[in-house]
Structures are given as C-alpha cells and as structure tokens.
C-alpha cells in the first residue's frame, strides 16, 4: 500500500479532516499545524452533517470547509464519490477522520488505503464500534484509552500508529471516562499525524513501520 505522499508546496503533507460534530480533535490538529515546523497543513475540513459545530470553528480560522449532507445522496457510493471529488479537487494527500461517524464503502477505503487515519476512543482491539466507554466500564478494565490507526475496510481494525492510556478510577461513569480520554486524544492525534505526515510512520502491509525511534510522550501512561 502507498505511504502518504507529501506535497511539493512547502514540503508539507496536504491534509483534510473529516468530522461529524463537535470537532475538538479537529481543533487540536488545526492548532498543531499552526507551528511552522509541523509536517502537515490542514487544507480542508468536511462534514457529512451541515450543522456540525466544527465546520464553523474551522471556517473562522480561514480553513476551507465543505458540508456534504449524506441524506442528500441516493446511496453510500454516491456520497463517497462526491467526497472523493472534493478531496481530489483540494489535492489532498492524507485524510484524518476526527469523530467522523459514517461508514465508508470498501471502494473509498481502497482509494485512500495507507492515506487515511482515524482516532478511536478505546485501546484497540478492545471495544470497537460505539459506546466505547460504556463497554470499558462493563468489562471492568482498569486501563482505557484512545488509538490512532490506519483505516481499513473492517471497522476499527486497521494497523495501529499510536495509543494513549488512562486509568479507570473507582466511581467513574462514562462521562468522566470520556472527558479523561478526550484530553489524551487531543495530545495523541497531533503527534500521530506528525509521525505519518513526516514520513516517520508508514503502512507496510498489515503493520505500521516506524523509520526511527519513536519518542516517548510526557505522561506516565501515554506512549506513542
């Protein structure tokens, strides 16, 4: 599978972020990409939900936005084709899913194989799908967390780039756990994107290959 291509303009990887709602992970990526030495630039934010608050946030920061209401398309294929056309028109190298709550066709995933990553709120391969914090509490795990991974056709099953862990504390409910993990998501995703966009992590078959020693991240339970 192809590794993410970097654009010739400024040597930065051209990134689109796909969202469905709040967009707090998107905001963390936008903030990271403002650093001059960050290896990615955010050139497009798109949502399948026109009312997504994250679209407004991105537009206010001068980032081009697109709302593609999935209800306006006759099929999953038609929606994915329209989205793909937007990504191609913007010259996108790498797609970041950030709370994008819609399943792609296998064809779309194949088109972007090795060039599309996602953040998921659990320590994969545990707790795929939705309601991950409820799943973790029901299972009684003492550690929970978040994962950045390449997207493959099977849901939440792609090769893992980075993970962050948090403790599950006595008395936690799903809201408390979600809030604790979101803090780690906002730290992890920009660092994982930097690895991919900077060519330090790439997909090689079913595994992620790291080109050099991956730095430890500050914080006892968070590691890349």
Q: How far apart are CA 137 and CA 134, in angstroms?
A: 5
* Residue 6 binds ligand GAR, judged by CB under 6 A: no
Q: For residue 141, give both structure tokens.
A: 């795990």
Closest listed residue to residue 58, CA positions, set 88, 31, 83, 86: 31
**Residue given tokens 């001068």 in the structure block:** 62
Residue 128: how many CA atoms within 13 Å on its side-chain side? 8
Q: Which residue from 4, 13, 23, 127 is in contact with ligand GAR, where contact means CB under 6 A?
A: 23
Q: Does 121 bind ligand GAR (CB under 6 A)?
A: yes
164 binds ligand GAR (CB under 6 A): no
- Taking CA atoms, 60 is separated from 19, 56, 63, 97, 212, in Å, by 16, 6, 7, 20, 37
Give least dist CB 146 to ligand GAR, A: 6
DSSP state of 125: T
Q: Which of 7, 21, 76, 214 binds ligand GAR (CB under 6 A)?
A: 21
Q: Does position 185 bind ligand GAR by CB under 6 A?
A: yes
- Reference 67, options 117, 101, 108, 19; nearest CA is 19
Contacts to ligand GAR from residues 68-107, by CB under 6 A: 98-99
Among candidate residues 120, 133, 144, 186, the one labeled active-site is: 120
Considering only 14-22, 67-75, 190-198, 216-224, which stretch makes contact with ligand GAR by CB under 6 A? Answer: 14-22
In this structure, the dihedral spanned by the alpha carbons of residues 97, 188, 129 and 47, taken in order and rounded to 10 degrees, is: -20
For ligand GAR, the closer CB: 1 or 182: 182
Rounded to a whole number of angstroms, the minimum distance from the CB of residue 10 to ligand GAR is 26
In the complex, least distance from residue 154 CB atom to ligand GAR, rounded to whole angstroms: 13
Q: Does 22 help bind ligand GAR (rule: CB under 6 A)?
A: yes
Nearest to 10 by CA among 93, 114, 97: 93
Question: Is residue 199 involved in binding ligand GAR (CB under 6 A)?
Answer: no
Would residue 149 show up in a list of annotated catalytic residues for this protein? Answer: no
Nearest to ligand GAR of 24, 105 (CB atom): 24
Q: Does 158 bind ligand GAR (CB under 6 A)?
A: no
Peptide bond preceding 160: is omega within 30 degrees of 0, i.e. cis?
A: no
Residues forming the site for ligand GAR (CB under 6 A)? 19, 21-25, 98-99, 119-121, 182, 185
């Amino acid at each position: 599978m192809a590794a993410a291509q970097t654009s010739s303009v400024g040597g930065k990887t051209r990134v689109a972020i796909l969202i469905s709602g709040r967009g707090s992970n998107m905001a963390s990526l936008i903030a990271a990409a403002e650093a001059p030495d960050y290896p990615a630039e955010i050139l497009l934010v798109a949502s399948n939900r026109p009312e997504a608050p994250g679209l407004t946030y991105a537009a206010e920061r001068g980032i081009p936005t697109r709302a593609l209401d999935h209800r306006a398309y006759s099929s999953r294929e038609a929606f994915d084709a329209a989205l793909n056309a937007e990504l191609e028109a913007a010259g996108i190298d790498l797609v970041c899913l950030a709370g994008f709550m819609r399943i792609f066709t296998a064809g779309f995933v194949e088109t972007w194989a090795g060039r599309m990553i996602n953040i998921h709120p659990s320590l994969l391969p545990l707790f795929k799908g939705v309601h991950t914090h409820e799943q973790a509490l029901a299972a009684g795990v003492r550690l929970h967390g978040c994962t950045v991974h390449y997207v493959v056709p099977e849901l939440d099953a792609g090769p893992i780039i980075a993970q962050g862990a948090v403790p599950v504390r006595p008395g936690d409910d799903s809201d408390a756990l979600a809030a604790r993990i979101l803090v780690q998501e906002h730290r992890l995703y920009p660092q994982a994107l930097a690895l991919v966009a900077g060519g330090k992590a790439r997909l090689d078959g079913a595994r992620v290959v790291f080109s050099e020693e991956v730095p430890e991240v500050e914080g006892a339970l968070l590691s890349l």
